[in-house]
Amino acid sequence: MKRRYYSMKEDIIRVQNDTLLAISAAEDARALDEARVASLGKKGALTALSMGMKDVPQEQKGEVGALLNAARTEITAALEQKQQALEEAADRAALAGIDPTLPARFLPTGGLHPLTLLRERAVGILRRMGFALADGPEIEDEFHCFDALNTPADHPARNVKDTFYFDSGKLLRTHTSSVQVRMMEKNVAPLRIIAPGTAYRRDEIDSTHLSAFHQLEGLYVDRDVSLPDLKGTLEAFLRELFGSQTEVRFRPHFFPFTEPSFEIDVKLEVKGQAPRWIEVAGCGMVDPAVFEAVCQSRKDRSFDPNEVTGFAFGMGLERLAMIQWGIRDIRLLIENDVRFLRQFA
C-alpha cells in the first residue's frame, strides 16, 4: 500500500513535468492540443491517475488529491498561456511587412440629396400633424389620374402633347393627386394621407422644368372638415418648413378636383434677393364630383359628399428645395455634380 502511494505521487509529478515540457515545446496549435489530450483528455495520463484515486488509502487521499488538483491547475494554466502566446505570434506574423502606423486610407462617405433632405423634412412635419404616408403607381390609368379627379376629356393635361401615354392607354401620372382617389377607394373616413412621389409631364427641360419631377400630395377627409382647417394646417406646415415668421397667403385659383381652389404663396427672401411672394402649392376643398366618382368606383356611399368633406393639397418638391436653398436652376438637382451636391452633405 505504501509503495503504491509513493509511486502515485511520483507518477503525478512526472506526468505534470512531462506535460509542461510538451506544452512549452509545442510550436503550433496542433502540438499544443496533443499535449492537452495526452494529459487531460479522456484517456490522458493525468485522467488515468485521477481514476487511481479510488485505490489510495483513506488517510492519504487528501494529500494525493491535492497533488492531482495542483497538477491539473498548473497544466491548465500553462495550456492557456501557451495558446495566447501562439495566437500573438500568429498575429505578429500576419502583420509582418505591414506598417500599422501609416495613416488610414480616406474613405469617402456620401450624403443625402437635397431633394431627399427636403422630402424627409416635409414628410416629418406632416406626419407629426397626423398624416400617414401613402403610395400609388407611377403608371396610371386615365380614371385615377383624370376622370375621378373631375378633369374633363378635353382638358389640356390629357393631351398627348402634354402627357406620356402608353399604347395600352395607360400613362405616366402627371401629378400625385391620383393617390387621393386610390386611397379613398381602399379606405373610409377619417382619412389623412400624404403621398410624396414622382410625376411626369412632356415639358421641355429648362431652368424651371423637368419632365420627371416630384410632388407631395395631401388629403384630409372627415365629417365637417372646413376651409379654416385647410388654412391652419398648411400655414402651420409652411411656417415649420420656412420659419415661424413666414407670411402665407391663399390666392383664389382653379383646379378641377377642388372647389374652392387656391394657390398658396409664401413671402420669402430667396438668398440674395429682395423678399417676394413665391407660389409653393395648390390646394382646395375636395370637389363633391370627386367624392361621387369615388363612391361609384367603390359601389358604396362611404364618401357621400353630403356626409363628408375634405381638403387636398399638392406641391412640387424641386420647387420647395430651390426656394429653401436659393437654387437658381432646377437642372442642378438631376445632374449629380458632386461640387453642387457636396454642399448639402
Cβ proximity of 302 and 191 under 8 Å = no
Asked if 282 interacts with ligand DAH (CB under 6 A), we say yes
In the complex with ligand DAH, the residue whose CB is nearer, 39 or 177, is 177
Determine the residue type at 306. N
Q: Could you tell me the smallest distance in angstroms from the CB atom of residue 131 to ligand DAH?
A: 13
Q: How many CB atoms lie within 10 A of CB 232?
A: 11
Q: Which stretch binds ligand DAH (CB under 6 A): 3-11, 17-25, 81-89, 276-284?
A: 276-284
Say whether residue 196 binds ligand DAH (CB under 6 A).
no
Q: Which of 71, 148, 283, 294 binds ligand DAH (CB under 6 A)?
A: 283
In the bound state with ligand DAH, the residue whose beta carbon lies nearer, of 213 and 242, is: 213
Please tell me whether residue 39 binds ligand DAH under the rule CB under 6 A. Answer: no
Residues ≥6 apart with Cβ < 8 Å to 271: 325, 326
Q: What is the dihedral of CA 243, 245, 246, 248, to 10 degrees?
A: 130
CA–CA distance, 142 with 144 (Å, rounded to integer) = 6
Site for ligand DAH in 163-192 (CB under 6 A): 175, 177
- Nearest CA to 56 out of 108, 7, 123, 4 is that of 4
197 in contact with ligand DAH (CB under 6 A): no
The sign of the CA dihedral 223, 228, 229, 231 is positive
Please say which residue, 197 or 314, places its beta carbon nearer to ligand DAH: 314
Each residue 289-318 as x (binds ligand DAH by CB under 6 A) or -, in order, gives -----------------------xxx----
Instruction: Give residues with Cβ within 8 angstroms of 129, minimum separation 6.
Output: 233, 236, 237
Kindly state the smallest distance separating residue 135's Cβ from ligand DAH, in Å.
16
Selected from 217, 265, 287, 318, the binder of ligand DAH by CB under 6 A is 217
**125: exposed, middle or buried (Cβ count in 10 Å: 0-12, 13-18, 19+):** middle
Minimum CB–partner distance for residue 211 and ligand DAH (Å): 14
* Among the listed residues 255, 303, 322, 332, the single contact to ligand DAH using CB under 6 A: 255
Among 284, 302, 310, 320, binds ligand DAH (CB under 6 A): 284
Q: How many residues bind ligand DAH (CB under 6 A)?
A: 11
CB of 255 to ligand DAH, least distance (A): 4
Rounded distance, CA 258 to CA 194, Å?
A: 17
Q: Cα dist. 242→63, 115, 267 in Å? A: 86, 15, 10
Residues at the site binding ligand DAH, with contacts judged by CB under 6 A: 175, 177, 217, 255, 258, 282-284, 312-314
